Structure 1
């Protein structure tokens, strides 16, 4: 609606009538008076939202109260930003005070005011087609009984096509009182499930590539604690448990649902052909030893794996050092993986030492960039292994690990390339830095060091991207780029997964094949 050249009284009457009759947007046009001034009356309820625009430089716009006392400046005369937004203060009657050159033309565009009662976010459109149907049923007065019976028959999460190569995946929980969190899954941040209306359905939906493989738990009614962020974050462990409607478990189903994870594998998740025992494949031996380290001042378990028929001193013997022995025996069946690869002729004879951590605190102190731990491996553990027939030159030795273990593998190879010639890193924590240093400390060490005779296999999960900070996904890519620029051989893989042993159990074989695999016959 356009208003041109009205006198003050007529403008006042016209705009008041306009405000009462037409709540839509309006345009006010005219000219400033001989003093370069014009006042446009404005009626707004308290806390109403108003936006608008005063095109063209040279004009200034202020909001004033009904007595023409300035409240705030909305547009500066020479400001390139000509739009404005405001929330109405107390009082219903205001003036928009325009000023500029005498007789200057103006055009003031005002959007329809939004009263406080009408200020709300748009209704969320559910991504899941099945949940949209359930939402409609609930709005018609129905309930969720049939939906839950359907889920009990078909399992959870709910998976629906989303487009080429992607699925909608909806994680579900029934009947929480206060909140539900996703522990694991796609992301770092313990995604919150939301309640569907007033029903007993809690849900969160992700659009995921069809290659996705991950493990997860669900945590209903996580306690909200008046504590530091770390304590509050760990509170999820109080209620995190397997998904009761998901029949797939990792590493295996138990009577206690708090002791295992649930599994999501979409249709195109890559195969893991080496993780299950194979008929006719001879098993290697595993021995547990306690190792005392004078350098570190502690004792730990180490596990020695020898493949069937292993001959100490064999011309083609290889050796694998692997950190975090516990999960690489319980969740990643490392001896079985090696048995199968060696029996298939895909790997040469490869022994392994799996190195345990005395405690969680020790792990956090020893694995990230610790020169004493690197010395322990090269100067204490290696001679002990040699005395037991487990030895190989650096070019046939792999040092491997995940998370801090992947970081440690890259670090010890930097310190002792004459011992460790191959690095296998699964989701290495390359964001890490010593206190007071910038992130990605180890990457900078490789920038500064001369090129060494070391080969790399680096991998990370697409769901390990940092949310507003450097994540494993990004920092692994950065290390890859630095190493390749320095001339290192690097194999780099990315998976539709997270920080997850369910994925690492399969990709351990990928890394070994890339670094020391036997070339297939031609």
Structure 2
């Protein structure tokens, strides 16, 4: 095995959770206020029906300009729910559910919740109608983690939202809200006239691997991208169209992408928890398997290891173990709290103590990831202090595939454009 074994410390792989450090700016949207006034003046049920027709025409959430940004109004139509909970990425805090409970206009089926948000915000969300009431807004009641998982399991896709995003098979699609000043994501959608690569599915060493091959892949020493959580990226992560578009525009050279599925939650937690065996699989077995089949490079400088969340942690860990195989690391919101408890930020310490490796970096985190932005910034500072070439970015969003799938193109461009 060529990988240097760097065993992680023991301890639970449970992410920390501190309360959201700031209140949400809960307001009332103009359209909901106007409907309430219309109903108060004696209007009949036709006013409610007209409201829903307009909401369907516009798509939800409703977005209204405001002097300090935008008022974003989430809506749910339900005449029988006892409560409706908004699950918005890194806005909803299970320790403070009062600010995520939707309000019902009395005598109607209109549930609503409005936040004032800056123009740069993007997020995914689902909406959870419930048969039993929750604590009223402002109550200090806190569900335990099991209760929180049950609440999340009840959440559904917003039927009036026009940007569904299927994160994983077996779960309802996410809905996405993007405000006008959010970073553009121009490489996601398929573009007319752009040649398409192909995606095939394989099993390698017990792992499902989805392989993207660019058009005209024969006879070239192609760069390689190893991308974790492959089942997400092959679907609405839009990896194939992103690669096609970037290469066609000359932003990156054509490259092979090896998307490694992570499996169910227990399997994902195990293999993406700084596991030396999985690091060896990526560096030795997977890259060797690909080299036997396609004209891929053996140059570490042209081999990118990419991941998000626990995948980002594993990308950083495996690159530390095998810099002779991976010369570029793309980390989006890496779970640097691992493994939790007193050994938190263990991998940051390993990078601080180890000799610098020949690695180039793209590292990013969302400014709404209140538990993670501090560890990522400290990791950034360690990389800078050790002299690693680094592109660093922060975006107005959370721990969210809706953000990562757009900025993945930025990372690939930064790491592949000049190799």
Pick the TM interval, shorter chain. 0.7 to 0.9
Query: Closer, same or farther in 2 for the Cα pair 1:149/1:356, shift >3 Å?
Result: closer
Q: 1:162 aligns with which of 66, 70, 74?
A: 66
C-alpha separation between the residues in 2 aligned to 1:421 and 1:238? 39
- Measure how far apart 1:438 and its partner are: 3.0
Instruction: Give the gaps of 5 or more residues in structure 1.
Output: 1-123, 293-298, 466-470
2:154 is aligned with 1:239:
yes
Name the structure 2 match of 1:198.
106
Rg comparison, structure with higher value: 1
C-alpha separation between the residues in 1 aligned to 2:350 and 2:131? 41
Alignment length (residue pairs): 377
Name the structure 1 match of 2:312.
406
Name the structure 1 match of 2:126.
217
Name the structure 1 match of 2:250.
345
C-alpha separation between the residues in 2 aligned to 1:364 and 1:371? 13
Specify the SS of the correspondent of 1:484: helix
Instruction: Give the gaps of 5 or more residues in structure 2.
Output: 1-24, 135-141
Name the structure 2 match of 1:265.
178
Q: 1:151 aligns with which of 44, 50, 55?
A: 55
Name the structure 2 match of 1:432.
338
- Measure how far apart 1:331 and its partner are: 1.5
Maintained 8 Å contact 2:26/2:115: no
2:240 is aligned with 1:335:
yes
- Measure how far apart 1:136 and its partner are: 4.5
Select the structure that is richer in strand: 1
C-alpha separation between the residues in 2 aligned to 1:301 and 1:348? 26
Q: 2:204 aligns with which of 291, 311, 314?
A: 291
174-183 vs 452-461, greater mean Cα deviation: 174-183
C-alpha separation between the residues in 2 aligned to 1:138 and 1:464? 40
Maintained 8 Å contact 1:433/1:442: no
- Measure how far apart 1:249 and its partner are: 2.4
- Measure how far apart 1:496 and its partner are: 2.1
Query: Closer, same or farther in 2 for the Cα pair 1:130/1:346, shift >3 Å?
Result: same
Aligned ranges for residues 372-391 of structure 1 at < 5 Å?
Answer: 372-389=277-294, 390-391=296-297
Name the structure 1 match of 2:372.
472
Query: Closer, same or farther in 2 for the Cα pair 1:428/1:240, shift >3 Å?
Result: same
Query: Closer, same or farther in 2 for the Cα pair 1:313/1:437, shift >3 Å?
Result: farther
For normalisation by structure 1, the TM-score amounts to 0.66
Specify the SS of the correspondent of 1:217: strand
Name the structure 2 match of 1:230.
145
Q: Deviations along 1:451-470, whole A, 9 cap, x unmatched?
A: 211111111223322xxxxx
C-alpha separation between the residues in 2 aligned to 1:302 and 1:324? 10
Maintained 8 Å contact 2:166/2:172: no
Q: Deviations along 1:72-121, whole A, 9 cap, x unmatched?
A: xxxxxxxxxxxxxxxxxxxxxxxxxxxxxxxxxxxxxxxxxxxxxxxxxx
For normalisation by structure 2, the TM-score amounts to 0.81
Query: Closer, same or farther in 2 for the Cα pair 1:127/1:197, shift >3 Å?
Result: closer
- Measure how far apart 1:348 and its partner are: 1.6
Name the structure 1 match of 2:416.
516
- Measure how far apart 1:273 and its partner are: 1.7
C-alpha separation between the residues in 2 aligned to 1:195 and 1:152? 19
Q: Deviations along 1:187-239, whole A, 9 cap, x unmatched?
A: 252652242463443332222221222222111116689x9823211112443
Name the structure 1 match of 2:230.
325
Query: Closer, same or farther in 2 for the Cα pair 1:368/1:312, shift >3 Å?
Result: farther
Query: Closer, same or farther in 2 for the Cα pair 1:246/1:305, shift >3 Å?
Result: closer
